[in-house]
A and B are shown apart, each in its own frame.
Chain A
């Protein structure tokens, strides 16, 4: 149980275009999902907390107009990187929590390359 999927697993796009990443909890409902970014050999960095039916909560320094988050249902959250630039190239990972214990289960990640 507690499986989280992400799509796509890898994407290459041109500078200035937008990319949408989907995160799904497959066998549980998640009122809260989280979006992280990780640069090579660096720590996980929490970008935002995605709340079903309400606005996402962004961490300090993360531009909410650039990283659009939508959590339309209890099993789906999407992250859209708008007007992507090469510095946005990174490994984007979502997570979801099925219960009150606080544990998070991670999706397999999306590797974004902006050329």
Chain B
């Protein structure tokens, strides 16, 4: 079992719809959770982080965390073609680690005009 799992996609949604990206993780002691966006040929860009159970909203983005189910998701409202990218879920392992993040393989999102 991979430590952080994401469906590679592609996930295709029409412009204006809600895109829902999901991620599960295996280490129950994981502390912090991050979503990165990576455009083709570019490096990852941090878009959201969440530490506590529940929802966290930032503009069109909402991160949701459920530690009991070991599940974190990212919702993108009013999806735009410019949101088309690969979305990487990253998890910070329990304290005592070197600070490195464990990344999922990423989900490719395609927003069709």
Contacts and interface: CB of A to CB of B under 8 A. Distances in A.
Contact of A46 (B32, B44, B49, B100): B100
Contact of B46 (A93, A103, A108, A109): A103
Contacts, number: 47
Nearest to B45: A106
Nearest to A102: B92
Contact of A104 (B31, B42, B101, B105): B101
A26 interface: no
B25 interface: no
A75 interface: no
A78 interface: no
Interface in B34-52: 34, 36, 42-46, 49, 51
Interface in B63-113: 88, 90, 92, 98-101, 103-106
A49 B43 contact: no
B43 A102 contact: no
B14 to A, nearest CB: 25
Interface residues of A, number: 18
Contact of A105 (B31, B32, B46, B98): B46
Interface residues of B, number: 22
Residue in A34, A46, A102 whose Cβ sees the most chain B Cβ within 10 Å: A102
A44 interface: yes
A101 interface: yes
Given A102-B32, A104-B46, A106-B43, A49 B100 contact: yes
Contacts of B88: 44
Interface of B: 31-32, 34, 36, 42-46, 49, 51, 88, 90, 92, 98-101, 103-106
28 contacts: A34-B100, A43-B103, A43-B104, A43-B106, A44-B44, A44-B88, A44-B103, A49-B98, A93-B44, A101-B32, A101-B49, A102-B31, A102-B32, A102-B34, A103-B32, A103-B34, A103-B46, A103-B49, A104-B34, A104-B46, A104-B90, A105-B46, A106-B45, A106-B46, A107-B43, A108-B42, A108-B43, A109-B42
